[in-house]
Amino acid sequence: MLKKAGRSLMIIFILCLAVLSGCGKADQETSEKMMDDFGSIIGASDELSAHFDTALTAVEEYIASPSEEGRKKASDSCSEAQKQLETAAGISYEMSDEVKDCLEKKGISAADFMVPYQTLASEKDGWQDFLTNISYYLDDYIPSMGEIPDELKQICRLDREYFEENTKFMYYGINSLFAGISDEEMEYLDKNVLAALRCFQPSDVQWEKTSEGADQKMEACMQQMEEIYMKMSAVYGAHLTGSE
């Protein structure tokens, strides 16, 4: 009788393990689906930044070593980047109930998860505006005046500073969302999302262990970007005043 009861308990125990194992696998698949969705969103934003970075690098090389060939190359690079930004394939995303539930279980804000998706259009416009300003000097001012103006040098320097702060800001935004995930999930995020990013994983950053720590880094980056933007406005204002 005792042996029979023991076998019954063993069967129940094994069945419970099987159920728990199945639930764990399902949770893992849902978690990976959630991170894949985010990877598609943040990847689209990262691509926009990469187009701008390519063009800005070409302009910086021209300024460092001026030549007519270099000017044309920089101009072509800006034109190509603007074209790429204009035709960048937008993504259409609607969060599934499955992903929404997954985020809720992990204590991740669904609204914060969607921010990179909701700001794609404004990001695109911002990078295009930067390139339009640079292109004016490359295509109009320099061919007419025969020299690289100090304003362009200042603008490109500030654009680079802004770009670098933005890459950190976006990285810590990802960090803030996923600071509380498990080691296994972090491994998946690193391999399938972060590793695919061209811009939003700069070399001079370190993953914060808490969302609060990442938020503080984001705030510092935001303050830097605001200061840089004020400097940009001053350069443009001085140029407009001087041209009157």
- Residue 21 domain flag: no
Does residue 14 fall inside a structural domain? Answer: no
| Residue 143 belongs to a domain | yes
pLDDT, tens digit only, all 244 positions of the chain: 444 555 555 545 444 444 444 445 667 889 999 999 999 999 999 999 999 999 999 999 999 999 999 999 999 999 999 999 998 867 899 999 999 999 999 999 999 999 999 999 999 999 999 999 999 999 999 999 999 999 999 999 999 999 999 999 999 999 999 998 999 999 999 999 999 999 999 999 999 999 999 999 999 999 999 999 999 999 987 655 445 4
Residue 180 domain-assigned (yes or no): yes
Residue 3 lies in a domain: no
Q: Which domain holds residue 178?
A: 29-239
Indicate whether 133 belongs to any domain: yes
Burial of 165 (0-12, 13-18, 19+ CB in 10 A): buried
Domain assignment of residue 205, yes or no? yes
Amino acid letter, 69: E
pLDDT given at position 88:
82
- Spell out where the chain has E strands: none
pLDDT at 20: 43
Give the C-alpha separation, 222 to 217, whole Å.
9
What pLDDT score does 87 carry?
A: 87
Number of domains making up the chain: 1
For residue 117, being part of any structural domain is answered with: yes
Q: Does residue 123 contact residue 52 with C-beta atoms inside 8 Å?
A: no
